[in-house]
């Protein structure tokens, strides 16, 4: 059914803040964000978050997943809506409202490539990005703050790790996201007490240091416990 409206309406877009954990060396490991270099005005050649306009009959989540796939080649990644940005001056073209999402990507399994209206796509340290187009620096900062809250309340951080990981890798992931050091003994005690980690009975291979045990996250058990009222909290 076609409907006409008496009043003009803002345009609607989605933007995606894609996080990954970079570098294998613990001393240099940092939270990274995926940016695209715009190939069209406004802000042509500037770096920006992946995103674009929502199509008719397309949900916000569908639009975010499509834009991410079209501009970076990423698909089937964890994607969560977190905030709406509606300053009338945020886009020089017209009044554009953006519904922002953050995505979590395991860099071991996903490769990125620039496509459609993106000239390039690359990973940057989240705290050392180039000047971003539109209000994307504000969106990035807000996404990191929301991620810090979310990883303490839900086990979404496992999306950033390979399927099998060590306890040290898990702790380093939380330290990178939270931007703070964690007590090793307390961290491991709390995680293991939840009984959500599966000991694979295997150890690391090809490492210069003493090989550590490998674990997997028991997603099925977590979902079952969650239905029973279990609350993940770190």
Q: Inform me whether the pLDDT recorded for 24 exceeds 70.
A: no
Domain count, the chain: 2
Domain-embedded: residue 138: yes
How buried is residue 214: exposed, middle or buried, by Cβ count under 10 Å (0-12/13-18/19+)? Answer: buried
In a domain, residue 199? The reply is: yes
Distances (CA, A) of 57 to 1, 62, 63, 64, 223: 12, 10, 10, 14, 31
Domain hosting residue 197, numbered range: 164-227
Q: What is the mean pLDDT of residues 14-23?
A: 89
Asked if residue 168 and residue 73 are part of one domain, the reply reads no
Q: What is the model's pLDDT at position 6?
A: 80
Answer whether residue 26 shows pLDDT above 80.
no
Residues 100 and 145 grouped into a single domain: yes
pLDDT at 112 over 80: no
Task: Read off the pLDDT of residues 140-191 as tens digits, 9 standing for 90 and up.
Answer: 999 999 999 999 999 999 999 989 999 999 999 999 999 999 999 999 999 9
Percent of the chain predicted with pLDDT > 70: 91
Q: Is residue 234 situated within a structural domain?
A: no
Contacts of 58 (CB under 8 A, 6+ apart): 66
CA distance linking residue 177 with residue 147, whole number of Å: 8
Chain-centroid distance, C-alpha 192: 25
Q: What is the mean pLDDT of the chain?
A: 90
pLDDT interval class at 5 (50, 70, 90): confident
pLDDT band at 73 (very low <50, low <70, confident <90, very high): confident
């Amino acid at each position: 059914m076609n409907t006409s409206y008496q009043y003009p309406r803002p345009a609607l877009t989605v933007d995606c803040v894609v996080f990954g954990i970079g570098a294998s060396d613990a001393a240099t490991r940092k939270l990274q964000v995926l940016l695209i270099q715009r190939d069209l005005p406004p802000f042509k050649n500037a770096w920006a978050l992946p995103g674009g306009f929502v199509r008719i009959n397309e949900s916000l989540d569908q639009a975010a997943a499509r834009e991410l796939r079209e501009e970076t080649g990423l698909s089937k990644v964890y994607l969560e809506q977190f905030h709406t940005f509606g300053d009338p001056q945020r886009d020089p073209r017209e009044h554009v409202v953006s519904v922002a999402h953050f995505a979590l990507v395991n860099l071991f399994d996903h490769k990125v490539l620039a496509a459609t209206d993106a000239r390039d796509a690359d990973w940057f340290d989240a705290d050392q990005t180039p000047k971003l187009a539109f209000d994307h620096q504000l969106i990035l900062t807000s996404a990191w703050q929301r991620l810090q809250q979310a990883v303490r309340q839900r086990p979404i951080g496992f999306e950033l790790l390979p399927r099998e990981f060590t306890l040290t890798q898990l702790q380093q992931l939380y330290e990178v996201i939270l931007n703070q050091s964690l007590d090793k003994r307390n961290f491991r005690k709390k995680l293991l007490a939840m009984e959500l980690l599966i000991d694979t009975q295997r150890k690391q291979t090809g490492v210069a240091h003493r090989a550590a045990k490998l674990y997997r996250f028991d997603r099925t058990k977590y979902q079952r416990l969650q239905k029973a009222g279990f609350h993940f909290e770190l």
